Amino acid sequence: MIGQLIVEGLAIGACYGLFAIAFVIIYKTSDVINFAQGEMAMVSTFVAYHILTFYQYPFWLSFILTMVFAVLLGIVVEFAFLRPAKEPSVLGLIVITLGAEMFLMGLAGWKWGAEQKAFHFPMSFQVTHEPIKGVIINDWAIGVFVTTAILMVVLYLFFKYTRLGVAMKATQQNKNAAKIMGIRVERVFSFAWGLSSLLGAVAAMFFAARATLDPNFMMEPFLRAFAAAVLGGLMSIPGVVIGGGLFGLIENFFGYMWPEWKPIVAFLVIIIVLCIRPSGLFAKHYVKKV
Amino acid sequence: MDMKREYYEDIELFSSGVVLFWSAAFLVFLFTLPLWSESYYIYLLNLIMVHVILAVGLNILVGYTGQISLGHAGFFAIGAYATVFLMSYFHIPFLIALPVAGLIAAFFGFLLGLPALRLEGPYLAIATLGFGLAIMHIIGRWDIFGGRMGLHAPALDLGIPQAGFSIILDSDIKMYYLILVTTILMVVGAINLMKTRIGRAFVAIRDSDIAAEVMGVNLTIYKTLAFAVSAFYAGVAGGLFGFVLGFFDPFTFNLILSIIFLVMVVVGGLGSILGPIMGATLITYLQYDFLKNISEAPYIGDLLVAFSRKWLTVVGLENLGSIILGLIMITIIIFEPLGMFGIWIRIKKYWKAWPF
Q: Do the domain assignments include residue B337? A: no
Q: Do the domain assignments include residue B30? A: no
Q: So what's the pLDDT on residue B241? A: 92
Q: So what's the pLDDT on residue A285? A: 53
Give the mean pLDDT of A94-99. 90
Q: So what's the pLDDT on residue A287? A: 52
Q: So what's the pLDDT on residue A75? A: 93
Question: CA B201 to CA B217: how far, in whole Å?
Answer: 6
Mutate to test the interface with B, among A33, A91, A272 (most CBs of B within 10 A): A91
Rg of chain A taking only CA atoms, in angstroms: 19
CA distances to B298, B303, B306, B309, B311 from B317, rounded to whole Å, are 16, 12, 11, 10, 11
| pLDDT class of A283 with cuts at 50, 70, 90 | low
Q: Do the domain assignments include residue B339? A: no
Mutate to test the interface with A, among B126, B208, B263, B315 (most CBs of A within 10 A): B126
Q: So what's the pLDDT on residue B2? A: 60
**Partner-chain contact A95 B130, CB within 8 Å:** no
Chain B nearest-CA distance from A285, in A, is 14
| DSSP character at residue A213 | B
Q: So what's the pLDDT on residue B99? A: 93
| DSSP character at residue A149 | H
| pLDDT class of A66 with cuts at 50, 70, 90 | very high
Q: Residues A255, A257, A259, A262: what is their CA dihedral angle, to the nearest 10 degrees? A: -40
Question: Is the distance from CB of B79 to CB of B139 less than 8 angstroms?
Answer: no
Contacts of A261 in chain B (CB under 8 A): 141
Nearest to A102 among B141, B318, B322 (CB): B322
Nearest CA in chain A to B316: A110
Question: Residue B60 class from Cβ within 10 Å (0-12 exposed, 13-18 middle, 19+ buried)?
Answer: buried
Chain B nearest-CA distance from A105, in A, is 7
**Partner-chain contact A270 B130, CB within 8 Å:** yes
| pLDDT class of A239 with cuts at 50, 70, 90 | confident
Question: Is the distance from CB of B86 to CB of B100 less than 8 angstroms?
Answer: yes
**Partner-chain contact B322 A92, CB within 8 Å:** no
Give the mean pLDDT of A195-219. 87
Chain A nearest-CA distance from B143, in A, is 13
Chain A nearest-CA distance from B314, in A, is 8
Contacts of B266 in chain A (CB under 8 A): 91, 95
Question: CA A100 to CA A79: how far, in whole Å?
Answer: 12
- Of A272 and A123, the structure prediction assigns the larger pLDDT to A272
Q: So what's the pLDDT on residue A88? A: 79
Chain B nearest-CA distance from A251, in A, is 14
DSSP symbols for B200-261? HHHHHHHH-HHHHHHTT--HHHHHHHHHHHHHHHHHHHHHHHHHHHSEE-GGGG-HHHHHHH
Question: CA A5 to CA A136: how far, in whole Å?
Answer: 10
Q: Do the domain assignments include residue B106? A: yes
Question: What residues make up the domain containing B107?
Answer: 37-255
Contacts of B317 in chain A (CB under 8 A): 110
Q: So what's the pLDDT on residue B6? A: 76
**Partner-chain contact B337 A89, CB within 8 Å:** yes
Mutate to test the interface with A, among B70, B256, B329 (most CBs of A within 10 A): B329
What's chain A's average pLDDT? Answer: 85
For chain A, domain boundaries? 11-215
Query: What is the pTM for the complete model shown?
Result: 0.89
Nearest CA in chain B to A271: B127
Partners of A213 in beta bridges: A117
Question: Residue A84 class from Cβ within 10 Å (0-12 exposed, 13-18 middle, 19+ buried)?
Answer: middle
Question: Is the distance from CB of A250 to CB of A269 less than 8 angstroms?
Answer: yes
Question: CA B221 to CA A175: how far, in whole Å?
Answer: 36
Determine how many CB atoms are found less than 10 A away from the CB of residue B329. 28
Q: Which of B127, B134, B233, B254 is nearest to B185 (CA)?
A: B233
Q: Residues B323, B326, B328, B334: what is their CA dihedral angle, to the nearest 10 degrees? A: -130
**Backbone φ and ψ of A137, nearest 5°:** -125, 135
pLDDT for A290 beyond 50: no
Domains contained in chain B, number: 1
**Partner-chain contact B323 A96, CB within 8 Å:** no
Q: Do the domain assignments include residue B60? A: yes
For chain B, 356 residues long, give each residue's pLDDT as a single digit of tens. 466 777 777 777 777 778 888 888 888 888 888 887 777 788 889 999 999 999 999 999 998 998 888 989 999 999 999 998 888 888 888 888 999 999 999 999 999 888 888 777 788 888 888 888 888 888 888 777 777 777 787 777 777 777 767 777 777 888 888 999 999 999 999 999 988 899 999 999 988 888 888 988 898 899 999 999 999 999 999 999 988 888 888 888 888 899 899 989 988 888 888 899 999 999 998 888 877 777 777 777 777 777 777 777 777 777 788 888 899 989 988 888 888 888 888 888 888 887 76
Contacts of B322 in chain A (CB under 8 A): 102-103, 105-106, 109
Question: Residue B300 class from Cβ within 10 Å (0-12 exposed, 13-18 middle, 19+ buried)?
Answer: exposed
Determine how many CB atoms are found less than 10 A away from the CB of residue A45. 28
Nearest CA in chain B to A103: B323
Nearest to B319 among A109, A220, A230 (CB): A109
Nearest to A91 among B68, B313, B315 (CB): B68
Chain A nearest-CA distance from B35, in A, is 38
Give the mean pLDDT of A145-163. 88
Q: So what's the pLDDT on residue B53? A: 94
DSSP symbols for B143-207? GGGTGGG-EE---EESSBGGGTB--EE-SHHHHHHHHHHHHHHHHHHHHHHTTSHHHHHHHHHHH
Question: Residue A113 class from Cβ within 10 Å (0-12 exposed, 13-18 middle, 19+ buried)?
Answer: middle
Q: Do the domain assignments include residue B189? A: yes
Q: Do the domain assignments include residue B275? A: no
**Partner-chain contact A91 B138, CB within 8 Å:** no
Question: Is the distance from CB of A44 to CB of A197 less than 8 angstroms?
Answer: yes
Q: So what's the pLDDT on residue B108? A: 94
| pLDDT class of A198 with cuts at 50, 70, 90 | very high
Within A31-138, residue ranges assigned H as helices are 37-50, 59-77, 90-112
Nearest CA in chain A to B141: A260
Nearest to A110 among B127, B312, B333 (CB): B312
Centroid of chain to Cα A71: 14
**Backbone φ and ψ of A84, nearest 5°:** -70, -20
Partners of A129 in beta bridges: A137
Nearest to B322 among A92, A105, A270 (CB): A105
Contacts of A110 in chain B (CB under 8 A): 308, 312-313, 316-317, 319-320, 323
Contacts of B145 in chain A (CB under 8 A): none
- Of A92 and A72, the structure prediction assigns the larger pLDDT to A72
Chain A with chain B: Cβ pairs closer than 8 A: 152
Question: Is the distance from CB of A213 to CB of A118 less than 8 angstroms?
Answer: yes
| DSSP character at residue B11 | T
